[in-house]
Structure 1
Amino acid sequence: MRKRHLVVALGLLGMLCVPAHAEARDISRETLPPNDGWAAAAGGTTGGAAADDAHVYTVTDRAGLVRALDGGSDTPKIIKIAGTIDANTDDDGNRLDCADYTTDGYSLRKYLAAYDPRTWGAAKPSGPQEEARQASAARQAERVVLPVGSNTTIVGLGSKAVLKGGSLQVSDADNVIIRNLELRDAYDCFPVWQPNTGGLGDWKTAYDTLWLRGATHVWVDHITASDKGHPDEKEATYFARNYLRHDGLLDITNGSDLVTVSWSRFADHDKAMLIGNGDTATGDRGKLRVTLHHNEFESVVQRAPRVRFGQVHLYNNRYVVPDDAHDYRYSVGVSTESAIYAENNAFHTPGHIEAADLVKSWNGTALHQSGTLFNGYPVDLLAIHNAYNSGSERDLTADVGWTPTLHTKIDSAEAADREVARGAGAGRTP
């Protein structure tokens, strides 16, 4: 009997020791911690934490999300996404595809015939088929472009919250938080041919999964962004160029400032992240201050990130280039007046990719780097770049003109590599 009573007592004690907070944590009113990157400067980033109960929404479809976003209003709001929302749907939730957006006689076959460089030349496309393409593209944009206003928090509920086919756009807005959400396949039905791009011409697409344009105080945390569903590498080739359907995963442009991107995963994409959109955008000087920490870039061809003008703190990130990568170009792009301070990042690549391939510069002059691991071995990316650059790139200096002060604990590259592999991305919010 004593033994039986002891078992019962221990069972009751175990019940009493179950944490009261064992249920899923509600992160919707959480704000950016102090000192957590550039978004913590000048008052910090609180998103929609001040929202009243009337402006807290749980949405399960595009129509509900559009209502909650309220046209990008500045009213404090919290939007919780449950399940999968498809932006390519009508107001009744019916699925839309490219044929539903096509109008005014547009067809890809006719477009290709009209603007074949062998007959059209290098002039910008114009005329009936380009006008029809623009009209068709506008119809898709009405559905998939989702404006996010100031004082907004968007969070995914649970481990499987997804927004697919949409382009979240934070334009001229302040104080925004986006967390725990998978952003997938911002697919452009109507790319435009640009004959003068890159010498040979190229296809230009319209949508980033997340675009910060003139945005300030933004915290992006535990998101997963990818082309899942329609990888560009499986698209056809027209005019000897891949018919791209996706633009950036996360682009930070047009004077955006005070941004922290943390514990996120960017995967299976070509041009992942652009910070600063033009060499002549001198109004970006003093802006584009961005912190990237504890993020994973996997199967990304380039722009992880590419930086113009900005002061970018890049620390404790993990880069993975798969063994079958045949089109990898670079990871860190040093462009006009950029000032990248890179610390304790880890790179994993197959044997045909060398440390000299990791950094590429265009008109950039500076890169601070320390604590870098390349396939488990310490390397000096700056010294390697300067020793092995192609001759078309200038040597870089380690003096970037600033030293980061706003940051969380900086771990060794080895420790961060393990933690990011386990913890980055949607559904893994601590």
Structure 2
Amino acid sequence: MSRRACGLTAALALLAALAVPSAQAGTGPARDISRDTLAADDGWAATDGGTTGGAAADDAHVFTVTDRAGLVRALDGGSATPKIIKIAGTIDANTDDRGRSLDCADYATDGYRTDRYLAAYDPRTFGSAKPSGPQEEARKASASRQAERVELNVGSNTTIVGLGGSAVLKGGSLQVHDADNVIIRNLELRDAYDCFPLWQPNTGGLGDWKTAYDNIWLRGATHVWIDHVTASDKGRPDADEPTRFGRNYLRHDGLLDITNASDLITVSWSRFADHDKAMLIGNGDTATGDRGKLRVTLHHNEFDSVVQRAPRVRFGQVHLYNNRYVVPGDVHDYRYSIGVSTESAVYAENNSFTTPGHIEAADLVKSWNGSALHAKGSLFNGYPVDLLAINNAYNSGSERDLTADVGWVPASHGRVDSAERAAHDVERGAGAGRVR
């Protein structure tokens, strides 16, 4: 294909993205959501001044981007200049500056090879020591090369929106680090794939593989609204990866992690799917600097085919309401949905859980050094359940019983519907391409 023909194809793709109709048939072109701000009562991100993202951007800082190079330019190194970034079509983060696709072999350097790494650190011969030596150094160097491509820093006063119903960021990790006032909406994020996982021989008793990239990672971020996003491993699920050293060779980390004293976050009408560890709020039991932070609202989200961490919470005050949980009938590795950990204060109300028959209501909540969970209005396969009472009744004794007093009552939120009504609405309205 000639260069002129390629340019014409790209232009037509952009025009198609700009003209995609809304998800509601017959309503005409999708409205421009790029200057929307968070409603005054919509969760924690609406408090203490609210969240406006890049709504104040001047015309010179409104960008429509169609490739990684354009996205990087628009992000401006994570600057705090008010900006609106509209993503049209699919952007692949694993591309070079000319747009050429890159794969794991392109990042490998200093003699790194997977087979050599596996031979060097096989626990049957290397033992349980932390990997060190030439192949580990080569892995680090190779991982750094990939990180330069796929880690995308989002600065303060930024709005990122997908255009129409087909905007995708593939292979990238949006990182909101020490930034304030950010909006991410109407965007599908898929396959933040780590080419160079690290073997950790002493994790979980048997060892495990540690991966580097979340689809979205909030670190020290404040006033962030994430709305109508879809996040998954689409295209390369970890279930298809081989077993290495007796453990699944993981390639993906979280779909959305909220850590390092991030605060005042609202996540709404989003879909998290086909993944192991979906959402971590608070990254360590010893991270006492998180006390008084990690205030997060999660409402009208769908967790579909998620193994665990939907979410797992440490320290934070998390309002979890009107969410829909779906565990598929053929699941074999489901662990839990709501994780209650050190000093967490989860206020869960009117959430719906649909699971196959071999999963019990007692499986929905898991505690690690947790003390409290306020849970009411839950539906389990259409029947009302008391998650707190069930958790305590089936507690094996390895953890203390939870109390209902989490020490706070949510004050900033929209209408809380019944779990049945919310499940119906979320099934039809959550995820990218469904903004009304």
- After TM superposition, the score normalised by the length of structure 1 is 0.95
Inter-partner Cα distance in structure 1 for 2:203 and 2:67: 38
Note if 1:216 corresponds to 2:222.
yes
Deviations 1:39-80 (A, max 9, x none): 001000000000000000000000000000000000000000
Secondary structure at the residue paired with 1:407? coil
- Residue in structure 1 matched with residue 190 of structure 2 by the alignment: 184
Note if 1:324 corresponds to 2:330.
yes
Say which of 113, 128, 132 aligns to 1:107: 113
Quote the offset at 1:389 in angstroms. Answer: 1.6
Note if 1:262 corresponds to 2:268.
yes
- Residue in structure 2 matched with residue 238 of structure 1 by the alignment: 244
Secondary structure at the residue paired with 2:186? strand
Deviations 1:269-292 (A, max 9, x none): 000000000000000000000000
Say which of 20, 44, 47 aligns to 1:41: 47
Inter-partner Cα distance in structure 1 for 2:397 and 2:234: 37
Note if 1:30 corresponds to 2:36.
yes
Equivalent runs, 1:126-275 vs 2, <5 Å: 126-275=132-281
Inter-partner Cα distance in structure 2 for 1:151 and 1:384: 44
Letter of the structure 1 residue corresponding to residue 30 of structure 2: A
Letter of the structure 2 residue corresponding to residue 83 of structure 1: G
Deviations 1:379-412 (A, max 9, x none): 0000000001222122100000000000000000
Q: Which has the higher mean CA deviation after the structures are superposed, 114-123 or 189-198?
A: 114-123
Deviations 1:131-150 (A, max 9, x none): 00000000000000000000
Inter-partner Cα distance in structure 1 for 2:194 and 2:284: 22
Note if 1:91 corresponds to 2:97.
yes
Inter-partner Cα distance in structure 2 for 1:189 and 1:392: 37
Quote the offset at 1:118 in angstroms. Answer: 1.1
Letter of the structure 2 residue corresponding to residue 277 of structure 1: N
Inter-partner Cα distance in structure 1 for 2:114 and 2:179: 36
Quote the offset at 1:24 in angstroms. Answer: 2.1
Runs of 5+ consecutive residues of structure 1 not aligned to the other structure: 1-20
Inter-partner Cα distance in structure 1 for 2:216 and 2:364: 24
Quote the offset at 1:23 in angstroms. Answer: 3.3
Quote the offset at 1:121 in angstroms. Answer: 1.1
Inter-partner Cα distance in structure 2 for 1:421 and 1:22: 22
Say which of 256, 271, 283 aligns to 2:289: 283
Letter of the structure 2 residue corresponding to residue 72 of structure 1: G
Inter-partner Cα distance in structure 1 for 2:30 and 2:336: 39
Letter of the structure 2 residue corresponding to residue 353 of structure 1: I
Quote the offset at 1:257 in angstroms. Answer: 0.1
Q: Which has the larger radius of gyration?
A: 1
Inter-partner Cα distance in structure 1 for 2:40 and 2:226: 15
Inter-partner Cα distance in structure 1 for 2:34 and 2:338: 32
Quote the offset at 1:120 in angstroms. Answer: 1.0
Letter of the structure 2 residue corresponding to residue 390 of structure 1: S
Secondary structure at the residue paired with 2:117? helix
Inter-partner Cα distance in structure 2 for 1:23 and 1:422: 19
Letter of the structure 1 residue corresponding to residue 102 of structure 2: L
Say which of 380, 383, 387 aligns to 2:386: 380
RMSD of aligned residue pairs (Cα, Å): 0.6
Which 4+ runs in 1 deviate beyond 4 A?
Answer: none
Q: Which has the higher mean CA deviation after the structures are superposed, 411-420 or 391-400?
A: 391-400
Secondary structure at the residue paired with 2:423? helix
- Residue in structure 1 matched with residue 65 of structure 2 by the alignment: 59
Secondary structure at the residue paired with 1:74? coil
Secondary structure at the residue paired with 1:386? helix
- Residue in structure 2 matched with residue 413 of structure 1 by the alignment: 419
Secondary structure at the residue paired with 2:187? strand
Letter of the structure 2 residue corresponding to residue 233 of structure 1: A
Inter-partner Cα distance in structure 2 for 1:429 and 1:395: 41
Q: Which has the higher mean CA deviation after the structures are superposed, 114-123 or 241-250?
A: 114-123
Count of equivalent residues: 410
Letter of the structure 2 residue corresponding to residue 209 of structure 1: N
Quote the offset at 1:22 in angstroms. Answer: 4.4
Inter-partner Cα distance in structure 1 for 2:149 and 2:94: 6
Say which of 111, 128, 131 aligns to 1:125: 131
Quote the offset at 1:337 in angstroms. Answer: 0.1
Letter of the structure 1 residue corresponding to residue 53 of structure 2: G
Letter of the structure 2 residue corresponding to residue 34 of structure 1: A
Inter-partner Cα distance in structure 2 for 1:426 and 1:189: 27
Note if 1:339 corresponds to 2:345.
yes
- Residue in structure 2 matched with residue 7 of structure 1 by the alignment: none
Letter of the structure 2 residue corresponding to residue 267 of structure 1: A
Letter of the structure 2 residue corresponding to residue 280 of structure 1: T
Inter-partner Cα distance in structure 2 for 1:55 and 1:347: 43
